[in-house]
Amino acid sequence: MPMWNKLYFQNSNSPIMEHLMFFHDHSMMIIIIATIMTFYIMMNSIMNKKNNRFLSEANQMEIFWTTLPAIMLMFIAIPSLKTLYLMEESMNPSITIKTMGLQWFWNYEYSELKNIKLNSMIMKSNKIRIMNTSNKLMIPSMTPTRMLITSKDVIHSWTIPSLGVKVDAIPGRMNQIFIMIKRPSIMLGQCSEICGAGHSFMPIMLESSSMNMFLKNISLSGWKSISLLNYFMVNTLNENL
């Protein structure tokens, strides 16, 4: 949940976000060490009166200031590439949701199921300013989910910070990302691409719950939960065979 005056990330709710937070802390540690070393060398050079102004070459020093940054970059690049490949890793999804951005709301469609579409528009709320929506996107927790994201008019960006997800919604192009939500919760996000006058009023509200609660919520929403239940039963049987 985003909080006022919060300087760090939101609580992670996916393996991808956990890796991103680890990479941030790892990189910041290297950056702080490099900054302290650079500051120390600069201050030592300024305060030291025994500098040799006629020094033309120093092979050992040149090897040091070339090798050390290269080693630091390697320590940053290795976890960065690991996180990048994890973000692009595909899995066998149990559910696929098509997300379409429009000016200025989101449309969600459960592709494998019948008559399950909803528009998510901003609603006035005294509790959560410009973050409450008319319909929440419902996803079961601990379930591999594939998001197909596109746009109907201009470029949007579907972003959920606590999941480490930021995917551009581009007209005529379908982007995809795989997510796995760890625990039941309500997550908030916004469109992160300037898309016109109503850009600030495209909130995203995602509700994650257990599978039983997910089916119950769909049933209360007037959707056909029987077809959804059959779909998950068949999908689970296929995975176990």
CB 80 within 8 A of CB 93: no
- For residue 48, count other CB atoms closer than 10 A to its CB: 8
> How far apart, in whole angstroms, are the C-alpha atoms of residue 165 and residue 34?
30
pLDDT tens-place string over residues 152-209? 889 999 999 888 889 999 999 999 999 888 888 888 888 888 888 888 888 998 888 8
The predicted-structure confidence for 14-50, as pLDDT tens digits, reads as follows: 888 889 999 999 999 999 999 999 899 888 878 877 6
Query: What is the C-alpha end-to-end distance of the chain, expressed in Å?
Result: 39
Mean pLDDT, the chain, integer: 81
Give me the domains of the chain, ranges plus CATH numbers: 15-46+59-87 (no CATH), 95-240 (2.60.40.420)
Question: How many residues belong to the chain?
Answer: 241
Report yes or no on whether pTM surpasses 0.85.
no
